Amino acid sequence: MSNHRFFLYFHTMNLFDQFYISVYQIVKKHKPKLAAKVARFYVSLIQIGLFLLLGVFFMKFCEQMKLTFLTPPNAWLLFVGISLFIVFKNWMGYNGKKCSILFSTSKRASQHSFFALLIFQFLVYGLTFVVSKAL
């Protein structure tokens, strides 16, 4: 009996994958060579914005609770480090095998309009600004 290798790869498409495909397909119509870079940049900005929102929320919460375990300069240093990690993760993740799998399953994916993608980006950063100004 010969060795049989069974490789099962189950990939679930998350919201960021759907955003990547939507931005890629929108930009590909106008600038095909820049489509992958712009889509990666968009997904990175969304993820960094959500992380910033979470960080600002916890900083304000800790400020209200009089907890001082993370100073603002250290928080910014941590934010920059994690932002670089997010950019690197997306650069590695949306190249190669995962990208091929995404496009093979993208026929089932819902498409987002350019307007909805733009509004979502502004909502994330707008909400971050509102939370940062909260008492």
The verdict on residue 3 lying in a domain is no
Q: Whole-angstrom Cα distance, residue 130 to residue 104?
A: 39
The verdict on residue 77 lying in a domain is yes
Range of the domain at 75: 15-133
pTM listed for this prediction: 0.82
The verdict on residue 31 lying in a domain is yes
| CB contact at 8 A, 33 and 118 | no
pLDDT per residue as tens digits for the range 77-100: 999 999 999 999 999 888 877 777
The verdict on residue 5 lying in a domain is no
The verdict on residue 10 lying in a domain is no
The verdict on residue 27 lying in a domain is yes
pLDDT per residue as tens digits for the range 28-43: 899 989 988 999 999 9
Contacts 24+ apart (CB under 8 A), 93-101: 94/20, 94/36, 94/39, 94/40, 94/43, 98/11, 99/36, 101/9, 101/11
The verdict on residue 52 lying in a domain is yes
The verdict on residue 111 lying in a domain is yes
Domain count, the chain: 1
pLDDT tens for the 135 residues of the chain, in order = 444 443 334 456 688 888 998 899 899 899 989 988 999 999 999 999 999 999 999 888 888 888 887 788 888 899 999 999 999 999 988 887 777 777 777 665 567 888 999 999 999 999 999 999 985
